[in-house]
Amino acid sequence: MSFYTYYQNNSGGSFQVDHASGVSQYVIIEAEWAELADERANDIGLYFDSSIDCSCCGGRWGAAWEDDAEDEPLIYGEPATSGGNRLGGWVTGPDTYIHYADGRITSVTYSREGTATSVYYDSPVDLATNFEEN
């Protein structure tokens, strides 16, 4: 199995967030191949039809390529659970969701300094309860 990272473009000046489905600024899907990862991404609300997004900002999501496959959940080449140089605070609640092939979901929140401040291993129901939008 491999991991495919979807980087959300804030098309129209905002991020699409759905904590009940495990969608935030970064979404990582574990799958056997890129097409299957895209199918799972579609199932949770990601889409690859940029015609519905802001014409000047571009598409919100890009489909995965086989070359995108990683052995572990990474964002810009660094472990997703460490934070690296990613700044948090752009969305309410977790910045990243990792969807494992067996149904587990991990959520990660980053600080403004770029370190992971919390890592939770939840089910989708728990995610919706813990991170409701205001």
> pLDDT of 71-122, one tens digit each?
999 998 889 888 665 666 677 778 899 999 999 999 888 876 666 677 766 6
d(CA 74, CA 81) in angstroms, rounded, equals: 8
Q: What are phi and psi of 11, to 5 degrees?
A: -55, 130
Check if the beta carbon of residue 87 is closer than 8 Å to that of residue 112.
Answer: yes
pLDDT at position 123, please? 52
> Is pLDDT larger for residue 92 or for residue 37?
37
pTM value is: 0.84
Tell me which residue of 6, 2, 1 sits closest to 97, measured CA to CA: 6
> Is pLDDT larger for residue 1 or for residue 109?
1
Return the structure tokens found at 67.
């070359």
d(CA 36, CA 38) in angstroms, rounded, equals: 5
Mean pLDDT estimate for the chain: 82
Check if the beta carbon of residue 45 is closer than 8 Å to that of residue 15.
Answer: no
d(CA 96, CA 110) in angstroms, rounded, equals: 9
Residue 32 confidence (pLDDT) above 90: yes
Total domains, the chain: 1
Domain with 117, as residue range(s), is 2-130
**Biggest alpha carbon–alpha carbon distance for the chain:** 38
